[in-house]
């Protein structure tokens, strides 16, 4: 069986509302905590905030760094653990170091937005966690935007309360 029977249903409306509220609270503190932190440190901060008070998702620890189960259509756990995750996180940290050295605000903003698209896209594509990948990687992307693009320091993503929500986009 893919999910444990005693697992919390991640699609339940109550869990979605709780995660939405947790996202709002995380966005308030994301700049303070994430400034000058590695992607891996940011990942755990975001996951802890989103899943605060939610002990498991589909029977798995929401703070599990790489999902321990394979699922049809997703990259295998073995590949993620042994080939992708460390390289991906190292690449993002290296790119951020290059961004910090950029003197031109215009070029820096372009590089930050390119990096955030990459973080979000590869985070979703590789589906590192059992659930909450979209929400996690949207907040991770936001942490870089807020840190490196002063004009977007109040930017936020609308909170997605239901699976059918189409209100995803960056707002200021």
- Interval 28-85: pLDDT, tens: 888 888 999 999 999 999 999 888 888 887 778 888 888 888 888 888 889 898 889 9
pTM for this model (two decimals)? 0.82
Residues 63, 43: Cα–Cα separation, whole Å: 9
> Could you tell me the two tokens for 152?
């977007």
Residue 22 confidence (pLDDT)? 81
Distance CA 134, CA 144 (A): 16
End-to-end CA distance of the chain: 43
112 vs 145: CA distance, rounded Å: 6
- Residue 130: the pLDDT is 84
């Amino acid at each position: 069986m893919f999910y444990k029977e005693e697992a919390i249903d991640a699609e339940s409306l109550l869990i979605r509302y709780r995660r939405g509220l947790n996202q709002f609270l995380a966005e308030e503190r994301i700049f303070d905590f994430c400034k000058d932190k590695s992607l891996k440190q940011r990942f755990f901060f975001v996951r802890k905030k989103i899943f605060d008070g939610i002990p498991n998702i589909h029977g798995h620890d929401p703070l599990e760094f790489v999902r321990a189960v394979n699922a049809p259509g997703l990259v295998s756990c073995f590949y993620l653990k042994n080939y992708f995750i460390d390289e991906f996180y190292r690449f993002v940290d290296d790119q951020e170091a290059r961004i910090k050295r950029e003197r031109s605000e215009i070029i820096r903003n372009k590089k930050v937005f390119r990096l955030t698209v990459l973080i979000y896209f590869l985070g979703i594509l590789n589906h590192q966690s059992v659930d909450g990948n979209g929400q996690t990687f949207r907040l991770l992307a936001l942490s870089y935007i807020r840190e490196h693009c002063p004009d977007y320091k109040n930017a936020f993503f609308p909170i997605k309360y239901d699976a059918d929500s189409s209100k995803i986009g960056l707002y200021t």
